[in-house]
Structure 1
C-alpha cells in the first residue's frame, strides 16, 4: 500500500496523534525506591532523565496538561524514586531521580544511581530515554556519564533541551551545534534534539508527536 500523504499532511497527522494521546487520562501507577519494587508492566515506556533541577517534572506536567501530576520543586533531588504514570493505557511515562547534585546523603545518591542504572540497562519495554539538558548550560560531565552508559547498553536516547526561553538565540544555537556534533559520534543517540520550554509551551506539541510514535497501538 502506497503512502500518498504529503509531508505537511504527515506532520499534521503526527501532531494530531500526539495531541490525542496526551489528552488521555494520565495516572500514577507505581513508585519504586528499590530494585525489588520495580513493577512488571505491559506497555511501552518512555523515561525522563536529567540532572537535578533540569525540569523533568515540569516537562511531564506540560506534556500532560496537568499542573500536579509530577511534583515540581526548586530543591534539587526531590524526586527520590522512579515514578510510573499510565498515559491512556497506551504508554508509560517514567520520571527518574535526577543525576548529579542533590541535597541527600552519599549513600542515598549511590542507591538512586544504582536503581536508575539497573532500570535503564535492563528494561525490556523501554523504548526511549528523554535526556533533559538545561539549554543555558549544555552537556555536563554527569550527562555524558549517563550517555556513555546508554551507548554501551544500546539504549536509545534523545536530548531534550529545557528552559530555552531563558537563553538568547545566539547562545542557544551554539549549544545546539555542540550537542549535535557530539551526538553524531554516539551510537545509541537519536539525532534530533528537541528544544522546549515548559513555562512558555515551546516544543511541547512536537515532543508529544514524537512520543506518540512510541506508544502501543
Structure 2
C-alpha cells in the first residue's frame, strides 16, 4: 500500500505544483486557543515526534530553505506555526511530541494546547502524521494516533527520510505502517513515502493536499 500503488492524474500533480509554487507567508506562531487565526479557509497540519523532519518537509514542499525553522535540537518548536498560501490554505506546523529539551511543565502545556487545537479546529481538513522511516511506527506515535481517533480527526501517515533506507527495509517499514493503521479508524488508508533531501514523494504529497481544497 505505497503511494506508488495510487495513480495521481497529471492535472492533479500540476495543480499541486502550482499551489505550492504560489506566494506563501508566515502568519503567526500561536501559544493558546485565543491566538488562532480565523478559521476562514481550509487547513492542513503536520504532526510528528520531535526531530522527525517536519520543518524540513514543509520547506521542501515550498522549495524554501528557511520558511519553517528546522533544528537538530528536539523540541525546539513550542508554538503552533501558521503559514498561508495566498488566501487558499493554511499550512500548520505543530510542536513535535515525544522527547523535547524543555521543562516538563512547558512540554505538558503545549501538548495540551495541541490536543485542544486538534479537537476543536473546525476547518482542519487532515493531519499529516510524519513517521521517521528509520524508526517505523513507535509506541509514542500510536499514542498520538489514538488521540486523533478520539477526536475523529482524519489523519494520514507520511514516512520521512525514505532515502536513508534500502528498498527491502522500506518495504518492511511500509508493511508495519499498513498493519498499524488497521487498528485506527481515523487513519487514511493511503500511506505516503517521502524524502525532503531527495524530493521523493513530494509531487504526490502536493497532489494529495490540493485534492483536499
TM range (shorter): over 0.9
Q: Deviations over 1:162-212 (max 9, x none)?
A: 000011111110111011122123110000110000000000010001001
Q: Is the 8 A contact 2:39 2:122 kept in 1?
A: no
State the secondary structure of the residue aligned to 2:208: helix
Q: Is the 8 A contact 2:39 2:121 kept in 1?
A: no
Name which one, 1 or 2, has greater alpha-carbon Rg: 1
Q: Which runs of 5+ in 2 are unaligned?
A: 1-5
2:59 is the counterpart of 1:61: yes
Instruction: Tell me how far apart the structure 2 counterparts of residues 109 and 35 of structure 1 sit (CA, whole Å).
Output: 16
TM-score by length of 1: 0.93
In the TM superposition, 1:131-142 aligns within 5 A as 131-142=129-140
User: Which residue in 2 is equivalent to 1:213?
Assistant: 211
From 14, 31, 40, give the equivalent of 1:33. Answer: 31
User: Which residue in 1 is equivalent to 2:124?
Assistant: 126
TM-score by length of 2: 0.95
Instruction: Tell me how far apart the structure 1 counterparts of residues 39 and 25 of structure 2 sit (CA, whole Å).
Output: 14
State the secondary structure of the residue aligned to 1:213: helix
Q: Deviations over 1:128-164 (max 9, x none)?
A: 0000000010011211111001111210000000000
Matched residue count: 208
For the aligned residues, what is the CA RMSD? 1.3
2:103 is the counterpart of 1:105: yes
